[in-house]
Structure 1
Amino acid sequence: MKQAFETFINKRPNKPAELIAKYVDSKLRAGNKEATDEELEKMLDKIMIIFRFIYGKDVFEAFYKKDLAKRLLVGKSASVDAEKSMLSKLKHECGAAFTSKLEGMFKDMELSKDIMIQFKQYMQNQNVPGNIELTVNILTMGYWPTYVPMEVHLPPEMVKLQEIFKTFYLGKHSGRKLQWQSTLGHCVLKAEFKEGKKELQVSLFQTLVLLMFNEGEEFSLEEIKQATGIEDGELRRTLQSLACGKARVLAKNPKGKDIEDGDKFICNDDFKHKLFRIKINQIQMKETVEEQASTTERVFQDRQYQIDAAIVRIMKMRKTLSHNLLVSEVYNQLKFPVKPADLKKRIESLIDRDYMERDKENPNQYNYIA
């Protein structure tokens, strides 16, 4: 029965691992009011039973890490205790190496809180004027998913604050490099409408667009693009969220659900909402096939390195080995399934790169090249 279930659940390679990671995300995300902490714990235990059967746990780790990053960075985690409980279960099941980067993400968040306490004290000591409160999360590149940096045009006040933080941080940690990730930023803006004052909880991109309306009454799509430096697709989604969503703080002319090249935008002074603080959700691209493929591709690349490392490690120790014995030892060392054809490609690649060679008298035997 166990073997039959294992065969059935892994019929589609990698997909079960991805789907389980997505299911866990839906249960650990804020807004999941289906379960109490006790029920959530039982649910995680049941998930782990299925998790034990899946191949390619590195695929699960890649998708889980991407979703965990979102939960941590935008404060969308339903329960820190549940997050750490899941981490503990994964560590018990797969070992410390499997969860080391995930644990590193939690450590970064805790350290960032301490850094911000020190930074606020630094700002007071320096008597830095200004009414913008800056909070920064310092992410260790090796722990977190890879984010493509996007250069945008920040207001001078924000640039100045970034420079102050950079001076403060590098003064304590010389030799380190800071890279700002604008795609992950979010802000709280104070806004004034005819109905009264509101606070808008928005992304950095939404912030850059809205701040333009302090300087003018109407802007075209092209003018906003030039002023903010936001990439076209991202800008269209940003404007859609501000002018076509549930909380329309901007008005679009002509009206419509899509953002077109000739559209113009004005501030909606008649905006009304029952809440004082309003969260305007950025319209997200649904996780496209390309994004899913990108995550899977990163796993594939990592696997290539792991296969290469295993082959070199074995050959360095054994010096000479037959093809069948090498394949057998590699299978024993790897924690994910590999097709014989893929393994053969990695062996050929290492031969081409002079890590090993075929024996001149026996083509089924390999020799390690020191």
Structure 2
Amino acid sequence: EHMPMILQRGFGELMDGRRIDDAVRLYALAARVGALEALRAAFRDHIRASGLRLVKDEEKDKEMVERLLELKTQLDEVLSHAFCRNEAFSNALKEAFESFINQRQSKPAELIAKFIDAQLRMGNKGQTEEELEGLLDKVLVLFRYIQGKDVFEAFYKKDLAKRLLLGKSASIDAEKSMISKLKAECGSQFTNKLEGMFKDIELSADVMAAFRQSPQFRSKLPKGIDMSVSVLTSGFWPTYPIGECKLPQELADSQEVFREFYLKKYSGRKLVWHCPLGTCVLKAQFPKGSKELSVSLFQAVVLMLFNGSNSLAFADIKDQSGIEDRELRRVLQSLACGKVRVLNKEPKGREVDDTDTFHFNGDFASALIRIKINSIQMKETEEENKKTNDQVLQDRQYQIDAAIVRIMKTRKTLSHKLLVSDVIQQLKFPLRASDLKKRIESLIDREYLARDASDPNIYTYLA
């Protein structure tokens, strides 16, 4: 009879202090007096409260996944050493995690995807393949608890695309291993597009090998230029802005040579060039030595304008490059205001104005031969993240509509209550009754369904 009071007054402090020996004694006592259910409930409530504090702490969003992993490690230790891996306690842990991690809509799913991205990127050194594999397994446990797995998929797909296209993956084996884990967890439909992205990269390598052996490559490609093209299947990859620009003649000719080769090999296909995704290595002659500049395609377009002139006004660069205004300002900032200043700007200043003039920097010097000039990128803003989340919500609407039509086509006539129950069973993401009601109304408006004349709570499928 004293157990509820003991748990209420001291259990939280015992858990926070990681007092494993005391937890062992408490479990033995609870087992002896038949109070294991009370201890299990206290364990579950403590996890729920601790986890909710972490998930709701918006100021520490960047650390959320690490903190959740640390919490899970501590709890697994208690479960293993103090609670004898009791199945009821294991279920309590699972139940508590599923409860608190889904309290903040889609944010934990987004942050888990970002955490995995950071681990799989090239910059993440200092751990072995085995350590990386172990960490990904632990993160996957958190992923299991998330209801909105489509949010995770959207962010994971966007980040994977960047890693593959920019060559930022620390290990292709680790990438494929992660996709295998996701496939085992969620089925092949979940990973179909991710696997398609890998297939595109591999096929592109084969296409480029064939291109380099072709007569077009040997005879038509402008001298001094090598090129590598990634041919992507639009359905597998995130949607990217095409980003128009006026390519220098040498690059435009190279592009045309590849286009002619590719369409001859694969007739009936259409190539759409995505300039913002391109990268270049330019050979640059400075008075103080030759350098190789690793730049984006937009940066290359701007720099190559200075082959014909040492000085250009902003308006002239804009007209000759054809790059969109806001993008061009970022490109010029990276070339004239960043760490590596191969151009000089007049007047000096951080912002690029319409009246600015840019000059070739004849005094440029560096100890390095190959120099990477980073783009001034808009950080992944709230607006960008919102756009990804909005796309997920849009996709969910299509899935809800498809599920409703599928069910009604089979059942022909169904009550509102049964239809809601069937749809919730079919869909794998959290669904509010109000959202489902809106989709039903939309399908009625579009004459897929009709309400029964005698009972408005019954729907009929219209063939």
- TM-score normalised by the chain length of structure 1: 0.98
TM superposition shift of 1:126: 5.7
Please name the residue that 2:123 is paired with.
31
Cα distance in 2 between the residues matched to 1:34 and 1:325: 54
5 Å-filtered alignment, 1:164-175, equals 164-175=257-268
Does residue 86 of the first structure (1) align with residue 86 of the second (2)?
Answer: no
The answer to whether 1:293 aligns with 2:386 is yes
1:10-159 correspondence runs (5 A): 10-123=102-215, 127-128=219-220, 129-159=222-252
Q: Which amino acid in structure 1 is aligned with residue 255 of structure 2? A: Q
d(CA) in 1 for partners of 2:108, 2:100: 10
Give, in angstroms, the shift of residue 130 of structure 1: 2.1
One-letter amino acid of the structure 2 residue matched with residue 109 of structure 1 = I
Cα shift at 1:248:
0.8
Alpha-carbon shift at residue 355 of structure 1 (Å): 0.7
Higher helix share: 2
1:233-272 correspondence runs (5 A): 233-272=326-365
Instruction: Give the distance between the partners of 2:219 and 2:299, measured in 1 at CA.
Output: 30
CA shift for structure 1 position 194: 1.8
Residue in 1 that maps onto 2:59: none
Note if contact 2:212-2:218 (Cα within 8 Å) is conserved in structure 1.
Answer: no
C-alpha separation between the residues in 2 aligned to 1:123 and 1:83? 36
Output one character per residue of 1:333-365: Cα deviation in whole Å (capped at 9) or x when no partner.
Answer: 001011100000000011111111000011100
Change (3 A) 1:123 1:238: farther
Q: CA deviation at 1:123?
A: 3.9
- CA change 1:283–1:125 in 2 (3 A) is closer
AA aligned to 1:255 is K
Aligned length: 370
Asked if residue 341 in structure 1 is aligned to residue 341 in structure 2, the reply is no
Separation (CA, whole Å) in 2 of partners of 1:125 and 1:345:
56
288, 292, 295: which one aligns with 1:199: 292
- Taking the aligned partners of 1:259 and 1:36, their CA distance within structure 2 comes to 44
Deviation of residue 241 (structure 1)? 0.8
**Distance between the aligned counterparts of 1:123 and 1:285, measured in 2?**
42
1:320 matched residue in structure 2: 413
For 1:177 and 1:348, the matched residues in 2 are separated by 39
Write the distance in 2 (CA, Å) between the matches of 1:156 and 1:218. 20
Residue 330 of structure 2 contacts residue 376 of structure 2 at CA under 8 Å; is this kept in 1?
yes
Deviation string, structure 1 residues 74-101 (Cα, Å, up to 9, x no partner): 1111111111111111111110000000
SS in 2 for 1:214: coil
The letter of the residue matching 1:39 is E
Matched, 1:6 2:98: yes
| Stretches of structure 1 lacking an aligned partner (at least 5 in a row) | none
Give the root-mean-square deviation of aligned CA atoms.
1.1
Give the alignment partner of residue 284 of structure 1, picking from 372, 377, 393. 377
Deviates more, 1:104-113 or 1:150-159: 150-159
Cα distance change of structure 1 residues 125 and 206 upon mapping to structure 2, 3 Å threshold: closer
Separation (CA, whole Å) in 2 of partners of 1:246 and 1:361: 74
CA distance in 1, matches of 2:223, 2:214: 14
Q: 1:293: Cα distance to partner? A: 1.2
Cα deviation for residue 124 of structure 1 reads 5.7
% identical equivalent positions: 63
Deviations 1:92-132 (A, max 9, x none): 11100000000000000000000001111114676225221
CA contact (8 A) 2:246 2:320 kept: yes
Q: Secondary structure at the residue paired with 2:237?
A: coil
Cα distance per residue 1:253-277 (max 9 Å; x no partner): 1112222222111111111112111
- Work out which of the two has the higher radius of gyration on C-alpha atoms and give 1 or 2: 2
Q: Which moved more, 1:101-110 or 1:237-246?
A: 237-246
- Higher relative contact order at CA 8 Å, sep ≥6: structure 1 or structure 2? 1
Q: Contact 2:412/2:460 (CA < 8 Å) preserved in 1?
A: yes
